[in-house]
Amino acid sequence: MSRSGDLTISQALVGEQIGSYFGSEVCPVDVNRDGVTDVLLVAAPMFLGHHHKEAGRVYIYRVGQVLLTLNGTLHADRKLQDSRFGYSMASAPDLNHDGFNDVVVGAPLEDNHRGAVYIYHGRGNTILPSYKQRIDSASFHHGLTYFGRSVSALMDLDGDSLVDLTVGSQGAVVVLRSQSIVRVNATLQVTPSSINMLQKNCERKGKESVCLNITVCFSVSSKLPEKSDIRFGQYRHIYSCNENLQLYR
């Protein structure tokens, strides 16, 4: 926009099909969370797929300093059905705690109009095209229809520092609570580090034996957004092993 208020079109994006409703839903995403938009998702929810089914399509455009560059499309379920994939979209703040923002896409006509939503993860400065999770309405409520007609991922409704998803359907709104990502690390320590079967270092049942101690530790942690690691605790179990070896001449 100029100082006089005039608008200049720098770039026009054109859909592949007439009537696909290309551009009816757009979603800017700051993938790497640096305050600058990295990707613009543009939906064509009535894009016709095989056998003239309203499959829908979502295009990934990388945002450059001047122009938008097409970088493929998001991949949804390949069932031969009406879907209207891309009817709703929302950027989600880092659902899997890897430091990159993610995306939620609705497909309200899937599964005979019962509907579904898809979760896509961010990586680097783009959105990975293959979905990481598909949530259909039949998996938790058989009476819902048009699940995914609207989506939002902005609020922490239960105060656990994790963003929750709200999904609209026909006459109802469903709240999907995010789960914490748990990391499990295991370590194994053997003492002594080397074993000499001819050198007895302990006594078992009144006999000299060769013994070793094995320490196995499991550490479980969860990294919540904007917070340091929270340790759930540590489990330690010490095994004492007695190895009987018969030497043959």
pLDDT of 103-133, one tens digit each?
999 999 999 999 999 999 999 999 999 999 9
Q: Which of 179, 194, 228 finishes a domain?
A: 179
Asked if residue 200 is part of any domain, the answer here is yes
Closest C-alpha among 120, 84, 130 to residue 100? 120
Q: Are residues 115 and 204 in the same domain?
A: no
- pLDDT at position 189 is 86
pLDDT: which is higher, 230 or 140:
140
pLDDT tens digits, 15-45: 999 999 999 999 999 999 999 999 999 999 9
| 47 burial via Cβ count (<10 Å: 0-12, 13-18, 19+) | buried
Q: What's the CA gap between 76 and 78, in Å, rounded? A: 6
Q: What are the strands of the beta sheet with 133-136, ordered from one edge?
A: 88-92, 102-107, 116-120, 133-136
For residue 128, the SS3 value is coil
> pLDDT band at 10, cuts 50/70/90?
confident
**Average pLDDT score over the chain:** 86
pLDDT of residue 1: 64
Domain count, the chain: 2
Domain that holds residue 57: 25-179
Domain-located, residue 38: yes
64 and 141: one domain?
Answer: yes
Lowest mean pLDDT among 1-5, 80-84, 99-103, 210-214: 1-5
Question: Given pLDDT bands bounded at 50, 70 and 90, which one contains residue 231?
Answer: very low
Collect all residues with Cβ–Cβ distance below 8 Å to 160 and sequence separation of at least 6.
180, 224
Q: Quote the CA–CA distance of 77 and 101 in Å, as a whole number.
A: 22
- Dump pLDDT digits (tens) for 145-171: 999 999 999 888 888 888 899 999 999
What pLDDT shows up at residue 228? 44
According to DSSP, residue 7 is labeled -
Expressed in angstroms, the distance from the first to the final Cα of the chain is 94
pLDDT at 248 over 50: no
For residue 17, being part of any structural domain is answered with no
